[in-house]
């Protein structure tokens, strides 16, 4: 029975304990020629938990500053086993920004890779709540107030040379939502994920064990994951989508194959083939780059079963190209938010061709309504805000009561995303409330204009922002990345858009750039774009 592995209430780390008890020699993760078995991960995280409980107060916040790696997995589960809260940190942030996060959540422990040592002195000087640091290698940093030890000193060597076997046995039974009874959900804080702050300062999203476990198991169900599955992990674990890849594959007893080199797509594709992965997960820009600037569709990828896409709406033209390139693979289009742990909806692959452009139906155990300003559900075909109800809805934002009141009403999450439903109940994203450009008296959906631009065969990537206009208040600006060896001028794209959009939606300004600024998650950094282009 599943309950034999769990305490009174199921917690995230229990997902690991269950697999380690039944399949200790199965592979949990692979990275750079090294593998970590479930039994090894369970033992190492137990040792770390014992150390933390001796040296830190109960319920401490413990931050991780680390690229995807075997060490990250040990830190993540060890902190949870110590009954403390994980705070994954965006490794691309400056020392000042990281210190702001650590100070905000009053973190007491920092687990860090030595590759970020240049950030540590300034970070630790400013984040005065930190009392201890654990690094992956010895650190030459002295402080009277901050203790230091290496992970190796606590748990011993991590990982071993990769064996020939690339897949675990498919006999391990994944959990289902039926395994979660009323008393099997722990409401305590598990993690604080800080949002990227694409529309302003980031917020600390508090997720409970119940939030993460319920959403993880629901995702395992609709993806039909088993212990024979392995996923190509290019998304950072500090990003909620990347974290979901880690948790779903641990829950299923599968394998995370980690490669942090997406700047070199061919290298990642080589890893996919060599490790015989069964799944690939990415945000829209990942697919645009693979389809437009690599040998992606020429590869056989014989063992690949499915793709998943989330992290923003993907243009229908990109979806069609993916379908054409891989007609025999399952393609899961998904929608979610960090505040929803993260998954809200999914589009069954067998309905993709029929419902292209849709983000599908609610994931198991989640209720979604499309509501008007008063919170009442709008009729099918009409636009409203996506409102989410379920065990996946966050506890709230850390230390942000005003923000909580704005998005959490009667326990339901008001996402800020605008959508409509068709006659079958399938959800179609229209845009974000904050990504509607007001041109004179007209409202322009950023997504609609971006989809139009991405349908042009010379476009690799495109994004749209609103910039100040003295007459209209705002006007539409497009920032475009062309495919390799392509040339074009603004007039060509204005004509392309005029043939497909109302005049007020056509970009009045088009800039060509070599690359769009992105967060490490792969999402476009629109805040930076607006800062750079608002005066043009």
Are 223 and 321 part of one and the same domain?
yes
Q: At a CB cut-off of 8 Å and minimum separation 6, what does 153 contact?
A: none
Q: At a CB cut-off of 8 Å and minimum separation 6, what does 415 contact?
A: 337, 339, 340, 344, 385, 386, 387, 388, 407
Are 263 and 140 part of one and the same domain?
no
| H helix or E strand, kind and range, residue 177 | none
Residue 381 sits in a domain of what CATH number?
Answer: 3.40.50.12780
Are 428 and 445 part of one and the same domain?
no
Domain membership of residue 197 (yes or no) is no
Residue 82 sits in a domain of what CATH number?
Answer: 3.40.50.980
Residue 523 sits in a domain of what CATH number?
Answer: 3.30.300.30
Are 19 and 65 part of one and the same domain?
yes
Q: At a CB cut-off of 8 Å and minimum separation 6, what does 425 contact?
A: 361, 380
Domain membership of residue 7 (yes or no) is yes
Mean pLDDT of successive 10-residue segments in the chain (536 residues)? 50 95 95 96 98 96 98 98 97 90 96 94 91 92 82 96 77 79 77 71 90 96 96 96 98 97 97 97 92 94 97 88 97 96 98 97 97 93 95 96 94 94 95 74 80 93 87 85 92 92 89 90 83 70
Residue that finishes a domain, picked among 432, 451, 473: 432
For the beta carbon of residue 54, count every other beta carbon within 10 angstroms.
8
Using alpha carbons, select from 338, 315, 344 the residue that is nearest to residue 240.
338
Distance CA 213, CA 204 (A): 19
Given this model, what pLDDT does residue 3 score? 39
Tokens of 395: 């506890």
What is the model's pTM? 0.85
Are 482 and 507 part of one and the same domain?
yes
CA distances from 106 to 52, 59, 291, 405 (A): 16, 11, 43, 23
Q: At a CB cut-off of 8 Å and minimum separation 6, what does 157 contact?
A: none
Torsion angle defined by CA atoms of residues 389, 394, 396 and 402, in that order, rounded to the nearest 10 degrees: -40
Our count of domains for the chain comes to 3
- Rounded to 5°, angle at Cα 44 from 40 and 45: 115
Domain membership of residue 15 (yes or no) is yes
Tokens of 346: 């999914």
Are 410 and 476 part of one and the same domain?
no
Domain membership of residue 395 (yes or no) is yes
Terminal CA-CA length for the chain: 63
Given this model, what pLDDT does residue 8 score? 56
Domain membership of residue 201 (yes or no) is no
Are 392 and 414 part of one and the same domain?
yes
Which domain covers residue 407, as residue numbers? 209-432
Residue that finishes a domain, picked among 174, 201, 221: 174
Residue that finishes a domain, picked among 399, 432, 465: 432
Given this model, what pLDDT does residue 182 score? 54
Are 489 and 449 part of one and the same domain?
yes
Domain membership of residue 23 (yes or no) is yes
- Rounded to 5°, angle at Cα 159 from 157 and 165: 155
Are 153 and 230 part of one and the same domain?
no
Please, are residues 306 and 349 in contact by the beta-carbon 8 Å criterion? yes
Are 341 and 405 part of one and the same domain?
yes
How buried is 307 (Cβ within 10 angstroms: 0-12 exposed, 13-18 middle, 19+ buried)? buried
Given this model, what pLDDT does residue 534 score? 65
Are 397 and 470 part of one and the same domain?
no
Residue where the block lists tokens 């208040």: 473
Are 283 and 167 part of one and the same domain?
no
Given this model, what pLDDT does residue 177 score? 80
Domain membership of residue 204 (yes or no) is no
Domain membership of residue 202 (yes or no) is no
């Amino acid at each position: 029975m599943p309950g034999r592995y769990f305490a009174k209430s199921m917690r995230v780390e229990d997902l690991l304990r269950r697999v380690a008890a039944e399949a200790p020699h199965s592979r949990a993760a692979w990275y750079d020629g090294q593998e970590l078995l479930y039994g090894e991960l369970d033992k190492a995280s137990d040792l770390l938990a014992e150390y933390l409980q001796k040296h830190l107060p109960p319920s401490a916040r413990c931050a991780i500053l680390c690229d995807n790696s075997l060490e990250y997995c040990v830190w993540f589960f060890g902190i949870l086993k110590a009954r403390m809260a994980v705070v994954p940190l965006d490794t691309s942030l400056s020392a000042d920004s990281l210190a702001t996060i650590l100070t905000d959540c009053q973190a007491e422990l920092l687990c860090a890779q030595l590759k970020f040592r240049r950030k540590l002195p300034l970070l630790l000087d400013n984040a005065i709540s930190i009392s201890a640091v654990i690094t992956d290698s010895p650190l030459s940093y002295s402080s009277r107030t901050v203790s230091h030890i290496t992970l190796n000193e606590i748990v011993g060597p991590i990982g071993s040379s990769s064996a020939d076997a690339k897949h675990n046995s498919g006999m391990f039974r994944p959990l289902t939502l039926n395994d979660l009874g009323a008393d099997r959900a722990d409401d305590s804080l598990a993690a604080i994920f800080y949002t990227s702050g694409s529309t302003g300062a980031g917020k600390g999203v508090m997720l409970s064990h119940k939030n993460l476990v319920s959403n993880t198991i629901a995702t395992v169900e609709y993806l039909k994951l088993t212990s024979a599955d392995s996923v190509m992990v290019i998304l950072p674990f500090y990003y909620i989508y990347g974290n979901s890849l880690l948790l779903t594959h641990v829950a299923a007893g599968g394998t995370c194959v980690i490669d942090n080199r997406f700047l070199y797509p061919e290298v990642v594709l080589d890893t996919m083939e060599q490790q015989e992965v069964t799944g690939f997960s990415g945000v829209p820009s990942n697919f645009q780059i693979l389809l437009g600037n690599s040998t992606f569709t020429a590869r056989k990828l014989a063992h690949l079963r499915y793709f998943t896409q989330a992290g923003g709406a993907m243009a229908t033209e990109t979806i069609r190209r993916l379908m054409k390139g891989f007609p025999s693979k399952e393609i899961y289009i998904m929608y979610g938010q960090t505040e929803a742990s993260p998954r809200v909806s999914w589009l069954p692959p067998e309905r993709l061709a029929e419902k292209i452009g849709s983000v599908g139906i609610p994931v198991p155990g989640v209720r979604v309504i499309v509501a008007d300003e008063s919170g009442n559900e709008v009729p099918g075909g009409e636009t409203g805000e996506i409102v989410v109800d379920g065990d996946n809805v966050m506890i709230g934002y850390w230390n942000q009561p005003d923000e909580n009141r704005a998005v959490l009403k009667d326990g339901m999450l008001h996402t800020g995303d605008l959508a409509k439903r068709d006659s079958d109940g399938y959800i179609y994203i229209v845009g974000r409330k904050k990504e509607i450009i007001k041109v004179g008296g007209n409202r322009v959906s950023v997504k609609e204009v971006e989809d139009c631009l991405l349908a042009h065969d010379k476009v690799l990537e495109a994004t749209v922002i609103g910039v100040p206009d003295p007459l209209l208040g705002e006007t539409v600006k497009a920032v475009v990345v062309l495919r390799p060896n392509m040339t074009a001028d603004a007039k060509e794209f204005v004509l392309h858009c005029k043939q497909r959009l109302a005049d007020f939606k056509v970009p009045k300004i088009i800039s060509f750039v070599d690359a769009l600024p992105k967060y490490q998650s792969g999402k476009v950094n629109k805040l930076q774009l607006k800062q750079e282009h608002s005066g043009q």
